Structure 1
Amino acid sequence: MENEQVQGTPAEPTITARERWTARLVAAWRFTRSTASAIAKLARRVRASDAYARCVQLARSGSARLRRALGASRGPLLRAALLVLFVEGAVWALTGPLVQRIPPGMVGVRHSPWGAGVEPRDFAAGLHWNLPGLHEWHTIDAGTQVVDFGTFTPALELRTPEGNLVGVAVAVPYRLMEGRAHRLVAESLRSSHADMVRANVEAVLLTELGRASSEDWLDDERRREVLDGAGAAVGAALESLYVEADRVLLQGLRFPAPYETKLLEIQRGTQKRRLSEASANLKQYQLIVDRGVEENSRAVQRLRDERDLELTELRNERKREIRLFEIESEAE
């Protein structure tokens, strides 16, 4: 029969999950016990070694010498140290919450949620009076910051009036106007101020720099005029955000590869033209110098001739005087 067990064949034992976990815990306990036993044996060997005994002896002797050196003054010194620590802790606990520290390079703005609101003044770096629960403080960076296009963010992509694409990498340094930090807090601009500054700078630069032609970017004087005009426009646009910015720094310029090849040829032609003009100017200057040298030589020779003539006349006159003197002497 199918349901009857075959005679002489034992049934396979079944292991429950609880028994498996019990076996694992027993194995882990045995491993831990054996490891602890090995560590204890190693510690006993270390304690039994001469080096360990010498270290313990040196430590005990050093402690004894220190106690003898301190002597009777150990108690007063300890009490004085504890008193100083207690006074410092008490001063910090009492005055710490009453003082607000503004780090260097930052400006503080004090806000009274239960009083007059934002105080209309900026607090410089240092320590200022604070009432917990009555005053809230905001710190704003007062140093120079930079809006960058082209280093950590994509460069500005512009199209010149003649239709050429140009990538311009620029940086615009700016800083908060003096005495205007509290206006940022009062007008709820503190959290979004940096993003608003960047958006305004980008909009102004796209407009101002987009008016420049390819030749403007290639010529030094015209490029400087373009950047100066863009800096003035950026400064005017950022006044409403209480920011000062007066210049735009050019970091890089990129044209499409075919146009850059054309520009390279134009620059080579310009350099050759300037070189020929410089050579012609040099020849003209050389002619002027040669003419001046020749005129100077003639003038020097004329002066020499005049001097020689004067010397000759003086010699002749002296000879005549000497001759007359000799004649008068013979007559006497």
Structure 2
Amino acid sequence: MKRGPIVFLISLIAVPLLLALLFKLIPPSTVGVKQNQWGGGIVEEDFPTGFRLGISGYHKWHYLPMRTHFLHFTSRSSSQNFRSDSVSKWSAPLEIRTTDNNVVTFELSVAYRIIPGEAYRIVMDGLKAHYPDRVKSVVMAVLRQELPKLTSEDLQLTDLRLERVNFTLPLLNERLKEFHCEAKSIMDGTAGSSLLSVTSGKLRFS
């Protein structure tokens, strides 16, 4: 029997198997974090989409989404059409008491992302499964600290609302550094513009 066909068949089976054992595919819109299971711990590097060297049994891979994450505070969160997933979290609107002692309901969205090059730090700090909840807690705390500094009359003025948003964003990012994330914008939860959508009683300021 000729050896050529046998060698070809063995190669046909062995080569894909060898590649599968030595390389891992990082999916699109995802960053990979490599962990050495036999010593060395987390590799201090983020691995982008593509085939990466990762020996099965020796390396363990963690995957984190690199897409923009969204925190939505809106009355639409009660709808079955809007469900939380790995990058979108839906919650009830924020109710905040202003400086003139009025309770105001804010419907808004906050866009944030994992800081490029710091995904491995999330895994290293044990935050892989918890960073979205930690970010949400910080966002709510900062917004409840800064937004009440506006009066009900201030909220009707677009320039003042934008000024407060622009002032709040760097304060928020300073807090989010702890979780290796950064906020990109605070947006109207319905229209998608960089404004706050505010409802007080039956009035809606936009």
Q: Does TM, scored on the shorter chain, surpass 0.5?
A: yes
String of CA shifts for 1:139-173, please: whole Å, max 9, x gaps: 11112111111142210001111111111011111
Give the distance between the partners of 1:88 and 1:196, measured in 2 at CA: 48
What is aligned with 2:172? 234
Give the distance between the partners of 2:176 and 2:117, measured in 1 at CA: 16
What is aligned with 2:199? 254
Post-superposition offset of 1:250: 2.7
String of CA shifts for 1:286-326, please: whole Å, max 9, x gaps: xxxxxxxxxxxxxxxxxxxxxxxxxxxxxxxxxxxxxxxxx
Residue 202 (1) aligns with residue 140 (2): yes
Normalised by the size of structure 2, how large is the TM-score? Answer: 0.80
Task: Specify which of 49, 55, 66 is matched with residue 125 of structure 1.
Answer: 49
Structure with greater helix share of residues: 1
User: Identity of counterpart residues, as a percentage?
Assistant: 29
Give the distance between the partners of 1:89 and 1:229, measured in 2 at CA: 60
Residue 106 (1) aligns with residue 27 (2): no
Residue 244 (1) aligns with residue 202 (2): no
SS of the equivalent of 1:122 reads coil
Give the distance between the partners of 2:157 and 2:51, measured in 1 at CA: 52
Indicate if the aligned counterparts of 2:146 and 2:168 stay in contact, CA closer than 8 A.
Answer: yes
- 1:316-331 matches, within 5 Å, as none
What is aligned with 1:90? 14
Gaps of 5+ in 1: 1-79, 265-332
Normalised by the size of structure 1, how large is the TM-score? Answer: 0.51
Tell me which of the two structures has the higher relative contact order, counting C-alpha pairs closer than 8 angstroms and 6 or more residues apart.
2
Give the distance between the partners of 1:247 and 1:236, measured in 2 at CA: 14
Residue 189 (1) aligns with residue 127 (2): yes
Give the distance between the partners of 1:218 and 1:149, measured in 2 at CA: 20
Give the distance between the partners of 1:256 and 1:170, measured in 2 at CA: 17
Give the distance between the partners of 2:101 and 2:68, measured in 1 at CA: 36
Cα-Cα RMSD: 2.2
Give the distance between the partners of 1:159 and 1:148, measured in 2 at CA: 20
What is aligned with 2:95? 157
Indicate if the aligned counterparts of 2:44 and 2:120 stay in contact, CA closer than 8 A.
Answer: yes
Indicate if the aligned counterparts of 1:230 and 1:248 stay in contact, CA closer than 8 A.
Answer: no
String of CA shifts for 1:185-213, please: whole Å, max 9, x gaps: 11111111111011111111111112111
Letter in 2 for 1:138: H
Letter in 1 for 2:108: V
Letter in 2 for 1:256: G
Give the distance between the partners of 1:235 and 1:178, measured in 2 at CA: 14
SS of the equivalent of 1:178 reads coil
Structure with greater strand share of residues: 2
Give the distance between the partners of 1:171 and 1:123, measured in 2 at CA: 29
Give the distance between the partners of 2:7 and 2:152, measured in 1 at CA: 76
SS of the equivalent of 1:190 reads coil
Indicate if the aligned counterparts of 1:166 and 1:254 stay in contact, CA closer than 8 A.
Answer: yes
Residue 147 (1) aligns with residue 92 (2): no
Letter in 2 for 1:168: F
Relative distance call for 1:246 and 1:232 in structure 2 (3 A) is farther
Indicate if the aligned counterparts of 1:120 and 1:182 stay in contact, CA closer than 8 A.
Answer: yes
SS of the equivalent of 1:120 reads coil
Gaps of 5+ in 2: 78-90, 190-196
Post-superposition offset of 1:246: 3.9
Letter in 1 for 2:144: L
